[in-house]
Amino acid sequence: MSAKVVTVFNQKGGCGKTMVSMQLAASFALRGLRTLLIDMDKQGTSTIWAGQGSVDTPFPATVISLAPLRDKLIGEVAKHAENYDVVVIDCPPAIESSIPWAALNISDLALIPVIPLMDNVWASREAKELARRAREENPELQTYCIPSMSRRGNVFKACTEILAEDKDIPLLDTGLQQRNAYGESQMYGLSVHGLSGSSAATKEVEELAKVVLSKLGINTAKKPAKAKPVKQKEAA
Ligand SMILES: Nc1ncnc2c1ncn2[C@@H]1O[C@H](COP(=O)(O)OP(=O)(O)OP(=O)(O)O)[C@@H](O)[C@H]1O
Ligand SMILES: [Mg+2]
């Protein structure tokens, strides 16, 4: 397989899996990497999101839904891997499902988005346990937690500190803060790169993308291309 595979997973619903998957996939594509996002969630959020892009301003990466082929994920990724540099797998919110397990077994790197709140911290333990078991089958798998939707405040700070204590599955310093630009990018079928006035969000997505690419050993000397900004006031 030529493509590097990145899985974004966590059994916790609504923790930012799709947001992280879509923003990262867009960043990789805008850097000139052939990028495929595989939506494995039957809710189809990534697929619907990418479908909102216009002909003039399409979503930067290719997005397909393979959720109906749940048991065939490994074979499907193998079929696509020759044609892409990076494959990002957006998982459904369930650890019991066979999908995250299959995805982790063929991944180079896995990201667990965690909102720095206690319920998310508790739930992340189960996600980490799955990654540890997957590492027995796939010893090359790198796994990291990333802060998702974080804000300032004592609880966020304390929870971030708890997550940072785990040295086995470390917390990356870079993550996504809670920002309006993320919701807005869905509305236009874009990533934050394609919106005007979203420089803070774009900057943090780029920082995360850089860290992930360096951990994957992918060198993109090239800066991400500027996506054509949409006229936001034309929203429906
Ligand atoms: N950094 C952020 N700032 C603001 N809103 C965000 C951010 N990340 C995600 N959201 C919003 O939070 C909600 C949940 O995010 P998302 O859909 O990415 O989570 P998920 O883990 O994929 O959920 P599910 O488990 O349902 O698949 C969505 O409405 C999304 O638009
Ligand atoms: Mg999702």
- Higher pLDDT pick, 142 / 236: 142
Asked whether the beta carbons of 221 and 235 are under 8 A apart, the reply is: no
**Tell me, what's the pLDDT at 97?**
85
Residue nearest to atom 18 of ligand 1 (CA): 16
Residue from 18, 49, 178, 185 whose mutation best tests the ligand 1 pocket (most atoms within 8 A of CB): 18
Phi, psi of 131 (to 5 degrees): -65, -40
CA 25 from chain centre, in angstroms, equals: 7
The pLDDT tens digits of the residues spanning 111-132 come to: 999 999 999 999 999 999 999 9
Please give all residues whose CB falls under 5 A of ion ligand 2, grouped by chain where several chains appear. 17-18, 45
The pLDDT tens digits of the residues spanning 44-103 come to: 999 999 999 999 999 999 999 999 998 899 999 999 999 999 999 999 998 788 999 999
Asked whether the predicted pLDDT for residue 18 surpasses 90, the reply is yes
Closest-CA residue to 226 (of 32, 83, 94, 75): 32
Instruction: Please report which confidence band the pLDDT of residue 234 belongs to, taking 50, 70 and 90 as the band edges.
Output: very low
Percent of the chain with pLDDT over 70: 94
Instruction: Please report which confidence band the pLDDT of residue 236 belongs to, taking 50, 70 and 90 as the band edges.
Output: very low
The pLDDT tens digits of the residues spanning 155-208 come to: 999 999 999 999 999 999 999 999 999 999 999 999 999 998 889 999 999 999
**Tell me, what's the pLDDT at 1?**
59
Ligand 1 neighbourhood includes 120 CB (under 6 angstroms) = no
Over residues 227-231, mean pLDDT: 71
**Tell me, what's the pLDDT at 222?**
65
**What domains lie within the chain, and their CATH numbers?**
4-219 (3.40.50.300)
